[in-house]
């Protein structure tokens, strides 16, 4: 998948090399948790600028704003001054206790930032790669830009902890301070620029290696590497994940489709969401899709905006969503090339009051599991219908009216996205 190249323009501050590594620019291709040496390996799928920094950690993410808080380590990798070529394999191996040896590139360094200093990849562990605008370890993962991730955890344990959609750990309190559980990193998509190798309870292996060709375009390799069917695993012996343990890569670096210089959302007095973004250049860009969600897992289409194809001049885009979700709404952009390949921006969030002034009706809760309440002014002859995401009307639902409240039992509906039509208004909700 082609990935976004994201730069952050700050007034009177020059963009440094540390901000020039983006999601999908590297990918994990090996992970060892057993003796004789813990370690991991990556391949660069874009050139890495000289002196650019990438942080690595095996500390998981407990929520959008909190790490697991278990004292696991964060390390800072700094590229050599001459940079790193696209298609370079780099391994990080604990050949000496608590010392990570870098193989595959000369002049790079690995510095310990925080944690116990005891490098130890336990069964089912994860490794996350991220960049920061301020050197060091961010207090919250929300201040990091995650660029790659891998987890070997299958969710087994007490309690079990597996999200069947993301393949990573489930939200809702089962992660705690576990050393081998983590939410999927914000801004990354499993199977696109991060990977869960064992998303089925009872399948976990301690050691894993990508085993198919490393020849092709960076786009094709990114997709192949983040496809778990192209990996092998062993629960006893580790693998040779040094650069010499792989066939020599031959990577054709595909130009990044978008240089995105801004992506913003804000609400106005009518509680409309104004979405805007700017590109510095575009290559083979067919269109954008705006998507929103209430939970970061189920995403729905909002609007399609045509791209400019190929351009080296700055382009500005804007859209107004007049019917956002109540509560917290999440937004992202999906960029689609003319050949159908796609990539996603990091996620933006915005919050609303439970009842929006611009809409005469409101539904709650959203998402819903059992009883859906409809708030607003309606009459006995109000037309109320529910449709699934494919436009099929959901028949057999019984609406109950008690005083000024109207409700419907949706517990028998399959999980997914639905539209409730009432008196010309369309309200979106998600059935868990």
Same domain (yes/no): 225, 277:
no
CB-CB contact of 80 with 131 (8 Å): no
Cβ–Cβ < 8 Å for 274, 318? yes
Whether a cis peptide bond, with omega within 30° of 0, leads into 292 is: no
Say what the pLDDT of residue 130 is. Answer: 96
| Pairing verdict, β 348-351 and 328-337 | antiparallel
Per-residue pLDDT of the chain (432 residues), as tens digits, is 344 433 333 322 333 333 468 888 999 999 999 988 899 999 999 999 999 999 999 999 998 889 998 889 999 999 999 999 999 999 999 888 778 899 999 999 999 999 887 777 887 799 999 999 889 999 999 889 899 999 999 999 888 999 887 889 988 779 988 888 999 998 788 888 999 999 999 999 999 999 999 999 998 999 999 999 999 999 999 999 999 999 999 999 876 677 777 788 888 766 788 899 888 788 889 999 999 888 777 788 999 999 999 988 888 999 989 888 877 888 989 888 887 877 777 778 888 765 444 556 677 777 888 888 887 666 666 778 898 877 788 888 887 776 556 788 898 999 888 888 887 777 888 888
Residue 59 placed within a domain: yes
Question: Do 130 and 152 reside in the same domain of the chain?
Answer: yes
C-alpha of 392 from chain center = 30
Quote the distance between the C-alpha of residue 25 and its chain's center: 14
Same domain? 240 vs 289: no
pLDDT of the residue at 426: 75
Residue 88 and residue 52: Cα distance in Å, rounded? Answer: 15
For residue 324, tell me if it sits in a domain: yes
Q: Which of 49, 25, 10, 6 is nearest to 258 (CA)?
A: 6
Same domain, 368 and 341: no
Cβ atoms of 140 and 127 within 8 Å: the answer is: no
Structure confidence at residue 380 (pLDDT):
63
Residue that finishes a domain, picked among 252, 269, 296: 252
Domain count, the chain: 3
DSSP assignment string, 48-71: BPTT-EEEEE---EEETTEE--S-
How many Å is the maximal CA-CA distance in the chain?
Answer: 77
Token pair 């874009």 is found at: 46
Q: Is 164 helix (H, G, I), strand (E, B) or coil?
A: coil
Distance CA 210, CA 150 (A): 12
- Looking at 295, 329, 351, the residue that finishes a domain is 351
Residue 187 DSSP one-character state:
T
Predicted pLDDT of residue 359:
53
Query: Does 300 map to a domain?
Result: yes
Could you tell me the two tokens for 121?
């990849």
Contact, 47 vs 84, CB < 8 A? yes
Token pair recorded at residue 424: 């010309």
Same domain for 248 and 264: no
Q: How far apart are CA 316 and CA 280, in angstroms?
A: 9
**CA distance between the termini of the chain:** 29
Q: Are residues 294 and 378 in the same domain?
A: no
Neighbouring residues of 274: CB distance < 8 A, sequence distance ≥ 6: 265, 266, 267, 268, 318, 319, 320
Radius of gyration over alpha carbons of the chain, in Å? 23
Residue the block writes with tokens 């891998």: 150
Fill in the DSSP letter of residue 175: -
Phi, psi of 229 (to 5 degrees): -70, -10
207 within a domain of the structure (yes/no): yes
Do residues 317 and 387 both lie within one domain? no
Q: Report if residue 356 sits inside a domain.
A: no
Question: Do residues 330 and 373 both lie within one domain?
Answer: no
SS3 of residue 230 by DSSP: helix
Q: Tokens for 385?
A: 């219908």
In a domain, 88, yes or no: yes
In this structure, the answer to whether residues 247 and 263 fall within a common structural domain is: no
Q: Token digits for 147?
A: 């660029």
Mark whether 51 and 115 lie in a shared domain: yes
- 346 in a structural domain: yes
Residues 277 and 239 in one domain: no
Whether the Cβ atoms of residue 10 and residue 37 lie closer than 8 Å to each other: no
Task: State whether residue 252 is helix, strand or coil.
Answer: strand
Residue 229: CB atoms within 10 Å? 6
The residue from 228, 252, 276 where one domain ends is 252
Same-domain check for residues 98 and 188: yes
Which of 146, 154, 166, 74 has its CA nearest to residue 114? 74
Q: Decide: helix, strand or coil at residue 234.
A: strand
CATH of residue 413's domain is 2.60.40.10
- CB atoms near residue 79 (< 10 Å): 24
DSSP single-letter state for residue 339 = T
Domain that holds residue 330: 258-351
């Amino acid at each position: 998948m082609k990935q976004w190249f994201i730069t952050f323009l700050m007034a009177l501050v020059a963009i440094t090399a540390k901000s020039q590594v983006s999601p999908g620019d590297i990918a994990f291709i090996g992970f060892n948790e057993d003796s004789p040496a813990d370690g991991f390996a990556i391949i660069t799928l874009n050139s890495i600028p000289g002196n650019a920094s990438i942080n690595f950690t095996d500390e998981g993410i407990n929520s959008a704003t909190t790490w697991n808080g278990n004292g696991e380590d964060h390390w800072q990798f700094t590229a050599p001054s001459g940079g790193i070529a696209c298609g370079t394999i780099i391994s990080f191996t604990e050949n000496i206790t608590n010392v990570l040896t870098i193989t595959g590139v000369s002049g790079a360094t690995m510095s310990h930032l925080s944690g116990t200093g005891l490098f130890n990849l336990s069964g089912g562990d994860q490794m996350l790669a991220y960049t920061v605008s301020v050197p060091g370890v961010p207090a919250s993962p929300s201040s990091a830009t995650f660029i790659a991730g891998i987890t070997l955890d299958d969710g087994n344990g007490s309690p079990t902890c597996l999200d069947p959609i993301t393949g990573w750990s489930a939200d809702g309190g089962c992660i705690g301070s576990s050393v081998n559980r983590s939410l999927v990193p914000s801004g990354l998509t499993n199977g696109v620029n991060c990977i869960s190798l064992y998303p089925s309870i009872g399948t976990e292996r301690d050691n894993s290696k990508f085993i198919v060709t490393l020849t092709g375009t960076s786009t094709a390799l990114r997709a192949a590497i983040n496809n778990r069917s192209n990996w092998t695993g062993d629960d006893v012996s580790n693998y040779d994940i040094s650069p010499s343990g792989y066939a020599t890569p031959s990577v054709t670096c595909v130009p990044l489709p978008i240089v995105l210089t801004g992506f913003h959302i804000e609400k106005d007095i009518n509680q409309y969401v104004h979405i805007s973004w700017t590109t510095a250049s575009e290559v083979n860009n067919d269109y954008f899709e705006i998507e929103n969600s209430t939970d970061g897992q189920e995403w729905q289409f909002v609007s399609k905006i045509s791209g400019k194809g190929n351009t080296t001049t700055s382009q500005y885009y804007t859209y107004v969503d007049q019917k956002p979700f109540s509560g917290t709404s999440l937004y992202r952009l999906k960029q689609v090339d003319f050949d159908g390949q796609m990539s996603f921006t990091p996620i933006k969030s915005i919050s609303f009051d439970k009842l929006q002034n611009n809409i005469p009706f409101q539904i709650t809760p959203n998402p819903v599991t059992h009883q859906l309440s409809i708030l607003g002014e309606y009459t006995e002859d109000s037309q109320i219908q529910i449709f699934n995401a494919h436009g099929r009307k959901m028949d057999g639902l019984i609406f109950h009216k008690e005083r000024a409240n109207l409700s419907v039992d949706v517990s028998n509906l399959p999980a997914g996205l639905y539209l409730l039509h009432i008196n010309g208004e369309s309200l979106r909700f998600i059935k868990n």
